[in-house]
Amino acid sequence: MALFKNPWGSNEKVNFKNLFFGVDDDDLDRPKVHENVILGVSYKFRSKPPQIGKNAQLRSNTVIYNDVDIGNDFQTGHGVLVREKTTIGDKVLVGTNTVIEGHSKIGSNISIQSNVYIPKNSIIEDNVFIGPCACFTNDRYPLRVDYELKGPIIHNGASIGANSTFLSGIEVGEGAMVAAGAIVTRDIPPHYLAIGAPAKHKPLPKQFKKLNKI
């Protein structure tokens, strides 16, 4: 029987499986939950517990806030944080120590590797791969002027390389690729490669002009 920390302040441990996952005790698709998982962190009055689909696997120290909606076959590494007002589709992997800051929309069939930072107001479509330590931002002028926070828009089938960094509001086109270590300062057209610091764009070779299969 899976045990969760009580998000309402008590030290008592309570079985929240039916509340969060909507499954019966004999459900074959019951979740696999490791120790020290915290579900349902309340960030405002009357926020609603997160909803998670079938066959989830939540590894230790995963934290998921209220008002989060997640599909089937969701997996986390250790120490993952998913903040409020986030929707996540089916068959999504979120790697160890990754942070999803909330108010974001993430599609299906997505692989997000370890130590990725996804800021508030991000959109990630289906079949996207994000390599380890990729960092997206949403504030072009931190603490200097009022600015509408805009995370990335990553379109279907794009691949993001390890240790790449993105300025706020960058749009990555369908099937585009970003090389490891790139610093992306402008939008990337569909089926283009961004490489270098600052990144330059060039068309992908023919053999790479296809979408990911995750």
> Beta-carbon neighbour count of residue 162 at 10 Å?
18
What is the maximum span of the chain, computed from C-alpha positions, in angstroms?
58
Q: pTM surpassing 0.95?
A: no
Which range, of 33-37, 65-69, 96-100, 107-111, averages the lowest pLDDT? 33-37
**Reduced to 3 states, what is the DSSP secondary structure of residue 141?**
coil
Q: Residue 158: what residue type?
A: A
> Beta-carbon neighbour count of residue 69 at 10 Å?
14
Phi, psi dihedrals of residue 5, rounded to the nearest 5°:
-70, 140
The residues spanned by each domain of the chain are 4-208
On the 0-12 / 13-18 / 19+ scale of CB atoms within 10 A, 35 is: exposed
Give the pLDDT confidence of 91-150 residue by residue, as tens digits.
999 999 999 999 999 999 999 999 999 999 999 999 999 999 999 999 988 888 888 899
Residue 113: predicted pLDDT: 98
**Residue 12 pLDDT more than 60?**
no
- The dihedral region occupied by 92, where left means phi > 0, alpha psi between -120 and 50, and beta the remainder, is beta
- DSSP state letter for 142: T
Residue 19: predicted pLDDT: 60
**Residue 75 pLDDT more than 70?**
yes
**The CATH homologous superfamily of the domain defined by 4-208:** Hexapeptide repeat proteins (2.160.10.10)
Give the pLDDT confidence of 148-180 residue by residue, as tens digits.
899 999 999 999 999 999 999 999 999 999 999
pLDDT confidence of 27, banded at 50, 70, 90?
Answer: low
Average of per-residue pLDDT values in the chain: 90
143 vs 40, residue with greater confidence: 40
**What distance, in Å, lies between the first and last C-alpha atoms of the chain?**
31
